[in-house]
Amino acid sequence: QQQVKQSPQSLIVQKGGISIINCAYENTAFDYFPWYQQFPGKGPALLIAIRPDVSEKKEGRFTISFNKSAKQFSLHIMDSQPGDSATYFCAARTGGGNKLTFGTGTQLKVEL
């Protein structure tokens, strides 16, 4: 059972464009929604995160939009750069042990 669904599986964006990755969840007990960035051969690293009582969070070129009623959230990368090329994972946390459930990942490639 995939509790966090992520799309698209892969994404190609031109330099300077906007990258958008979408996630949907089912479990209303999730209380924290992070996005992790993973470069080849490396472990995932926290990029940005949001709590369900906030509809949007922006950090530099990265923005999370959160729609609690629809149980959906998305990552927007503005002015995408080749250095942003990586795999992005959305996740959702259930409390009591800090258990993260990850989406299936989106491989982003930003072309010149």
Partner 1 sequence: DTAVSQTPKYLVTQMGNDKSIKCEQNLGHDTMYWYKQDSKKFLKIMFSYNNKELIINETVPNRFSPKSPDKAHLNLHINSLELGDSAVYFCASSPSRSSNEQFFGPGTRLTVL
For residues 29-48, which are near partner 1 according to CB under 8 A?
32, 34, 38, 41-46
Q: Give me the least distance between CB of 43 and partner 1, in Å please.
A: 3
User: Is the CB of residue 99 less than 8 Å from the CB of residue 93?
Assistant: yes
Binding of partner 1 at residue 89 (CB under 8 A)? Answer: yes
Please work out the total of residues on this chain that contact partner 1, with binding judged by CB under 8 A. 24
Task: Show the tokens assigned to 54.
Answer: 């906030």
* Alpha-carbon dihedral 42, 84, 86, 75, rounded to 10 degrees: 110
Q: Is 69 left (phi over 0), alpha (psi -120 to 50) or beta?
A: alpha
Closest to partner 1 by CB, 17 vs 101, is 101
User: Which residues here bind partner 1, judged by CB under 8 A?
Assistant: 32, 34, 38, 41-46, 49, 87, 89, 93, 95-102, 104-105, 107
